[in-house]
Amino acid sequence: MQELEFGQPAFLWLLIAPAVLALLWVRLFLRRRRDIRRMREGRALPVVERHAAGRGLWFWLALVGASACVIAALARPQALVAVTESAGVDFVVLLDGSTSMRVTDVAPDRWQRSVTWLRTFAEVLGWRQERVALALFAHRAAPQVRLTSDPNALFFFLDHLSDEPPFRLRDDTSWDTNIEDGIAWAVKMIDKDEELYGTRLGARALVVLSDGQSWTGEVERAIRVAQERNIRIFVIGVGTDAGGFIPQLPAGRYEEPEPPIHSVLDRQSLRAIAQAGGGAYFELGSEADHVVALRIIRDVQRSASGSLERREAFTDLYWPFLLAAALLFGAGALLVTDRIQLWWQLAAAGLLLLALVP
């Protein structure tokens, strides 16, 4: 890839004029030096007579250089800038939205407790080299936020869905926790991001918040797919051993109420998923929320610390070239001794500046 490109290369043909003028200036400069040498050889003076080598020619040299810079600026030059920096970290948060997350064994309930931790996670995240995506899952996964480095996108979701899961209690599909589909969607979100923006060096991790109630799907297959892409899985358990009853819909007039369903934290299954996924298992309430968040973030960042990412981008050089033209013209104007000529030159420069400034 070229290190210098031009957005309007057709203007570069105009550089022929400054090049010809530069050659003419060199010829005039050499002729003046020759004339000075001949004059000194043909005259005998009691003192050494000094003559300026260029005299008024220096202004014209500066003007030629300024015109070349203006033409280059019109061609819209862009320089390639390569920055090598530590690779970033991508987190995909999978939040359980099944009906069992409405249990109130943790205050105020499991769903709101998970959202509170997720808000703390977003607050302690640096958001410099880190990106976050969010997906909900019950019987099926529902992506909410794609991988983004904008915290406002995540906080928008937290502000509008912090009271209860979006899956309705009356829907049978909300009574299921399909972690396989959740992990599969998380991998698809990462693959889609690579398809759109290219492969990004660094570490990637899934953060699963769930109570582990009523697992379905082939979890081992989903974990194996994540491991093939070097995606670690961290699991955060939400709930208690004592558990609580899942809220029931009111029975109809001629229907018998369904027996209450008791839900407890399935710690064993969640711990097994974290161990198989190469991550770690945590529980809300065992440590402060910010401590759990920082432990996950630092663990993933350490795995990415050995990776370096080289980013290439073009920076516009339009204004730097105009600044160089102004400096050259100003330096040449300082060498002009005729005031009338100086004012004419300043007026011409002002008109040219008005024409170039967009």
Q: What is the DSSP letter of 166?
A: S
The sign of the dihedral angle between the CA atoms of 99, 104, 105, 106 is positive
pLDDT (tens digit per residue) in 67-76: 888 888 888 8
Structure tokens at 120: 């703390």
Residues 263 and 100 sit within 8 Å (Cβ to Cβ): yes
Strand spans (E) along the chain: 4-6, 77-86, 88-96, 130-137, 141-148, 177-178, 202-210, 215-216, 231-237, 244-245, 262-263, 278-283, 308-316
Q: Kindly report the number of other CB atoms within 10 A of residue 25's CB atom.
A: 18
Residue 236 identity (one-letter amino acid): I
The Cα–Cα gap between 131 and 123 comes to 13
Query: Which residue is associated with the tokens 């018998």?
Result: 256
How do the pLDDT tens digits run along the chain, 358 residues long? 457 788 888 888 988 988 998 899 888 888 877 877 777 666 655 555 565 566 667 777 888 888 888 888 888 888 876 555 556 789 999 998 888 888 999 989 999 999 999 999 999 988 888 899 999 887 777 888 889 999 998 898 888 877 778 776 666 555 566 788 888 888 888 888 888 887 777 789 999 999 886 455 578 888 888 888 889 999 999 999 898 988 876 666 666 667 778 888 989 989 999 999 999 999 999 999 999 999 999 999 887 755 545 556 678 888 888 888 888 877 877 776 666 666 666 666 666 555 555 5
pLDDT (tens digit per residue) in 238-253: 999 898 988 876 666 6
Q: Which residues contact 208 (CB under 8 A, 6 or more apart)?
A: 94, 96, 179, 182, 183, 233, 234, 235, 236, 270, 273
CATH architecture of 88-246+260-306: 3-Layer(aba) Sandwich (3.40)
The Cα–Cα gap between 211 and 218 comes to 18
Q: Which residues contact 342 (CB under 8 A, 6 or more apart)?
A: 333, 336
The Cα–Cα gap between 132 and 207 comes to 10
Give the helix/strand (H/E) hosting 7.
none
Model pLDDT, residue 174: 56
The Cα–Cα gap between 247 and 192 comes to 37
Q: Which residues contact 284 (CB under 8 A, 6 or more apart)?
A: 106, 113, 114, 117, 236, 237, 238, 292
Query: Which residue is associated with the tokens 């795995």?
Result: 303
Alpha helices in 134-211 (DSSP H): 151-160, 179-197
Residues 184 and 225 sit within 8 Å (Cβ to Cβ): yes
How many CA atoms, within 13 angstroms, populate the side-chain half-sphere of residue 311? Answer: 12
Length of the chain: 358
In our burial notation (b when 16+ CB lie closer than 10 A, e otherwise), range 303-322 reads bbeeeebeeeeeeebbeebb
The Cα–Cα gap between 123 and 62 comes to 55
